[in-house]
Structure 1
């Protein structure tokens, strides 16, 4: 089965105070670090919600401003059109996402407990999600997860989530950083 890695990067990063996707860890931009970790477990990687050098991009669907669910709908539509069976998703702010994430979440649909942007989705769920969004469904990821019957999986290790400059500084000081 073919897997598309998709990075959600359309948020405003208000808590971070600047473009967190471009923040650097050992000279590597945060989004590029996430892309490398997704690339290790997928056939291709895209970014959703913005342009990024070196990666194909997909728009949020049905329109920008719908948060992670719009990004997920965009990723699922891209995957289906490109012939991918599944989509492995992450936010751009999870620099140490597990390199065995796909195995932990399989078979899907499934999300990581406490990190619902880390997910494994069959690409054929895109139409259902698009209909949900167009009908005015709740834009909270947890609402969609509950309605769609998505499994929640406790990962073997909790990945870091970088939302503030302080969290980035703590990550840089952590011994796990190179993992």
Structure 2
């Protein structure tokens, strides 16, 4: 492995499926997307990595599905502020325990992600602490690759009692922004209508 081109053997993948899905009206991770489930469509992007985990709420349908996918189930620390970075922190701890160098993350509601999204982020990360996707519609900070060493500053930030925005935390860490041309590939199905729109051809 070189610092500029990490190999997939040193990367763990984590699907973020621990949200409340308030706007969706049901647990969106297990919503149907074509012939599969939305979380399964995203999980395919992690197939090349050494280990795979899913951040899910205890007792949720996503946790049940994670078992069937033979993924490690990670739960947020209830003593920390609620939000996606709490899930990322558990993923970083998990990756560190497995002697991995990087954690690749993606939200469960982005089923059209490019098949090479993590390959491109890993190619671009260099010596940066993290790399995340950017398109013409803005930043996609949870579609990212994180150095496992970010566990320490992230835990310090969350122990302060406030959950920062993912974007602001990555900016503070001087993360690498990686451009992707296809903005639709990163669209989130935050509502049932949005999911239907993603199922229709572009």
Fold shared, TM-score > 0.5 on shorter chain: yes
1:111 corresponds to 2:119? no
Q: Which residue of 1 aligns with 2:196?
A: 169
Given candidates 54, 58, 61, the residue that maps to 1:47 is 54
1:16 corresponds to 2:24? yes
Q: CA deviation at 1:59?
A: 2.0
> How many positions carry a matched residue from both structures?
174
1:150 corresponds to 2:166? no
Instruction: Quote the RMSD (CA, aligned, Å).
Output: 1.8
Q: Which residue of 2 aligns with 1:131?
A: 156
Q: Is the 8 A contact 2:76 2:90 kept in 1?
A: yes
Unaligned runs of 5+ in 2: 1-6, 58-62
Equivalences for 1:57-72 in 2 at 5 Å? Answer: 57-61=73-77, 63=79, 66-72=82-88
Q: CA deviation at 1:26?
A: 2.4
Equivalences for 1:61-100 in 2 at 5 Å? Answer: 61=77, 63=79, 66-100=82-116
- Say if 1:62 and 1:155 are closer, same or farther in 2 by CA, change over 3 A: farther
Q: Is the 8 A contact 2:83 2:163 kept in 1?
A: no
1:3 corresponds to 2:30? no
What TM-score comes out, normalization by structure 2 length? 0.79
- Say if 1:81 and 1:62 are closer, same or farther in 2 by CA, change over 3 A: farther
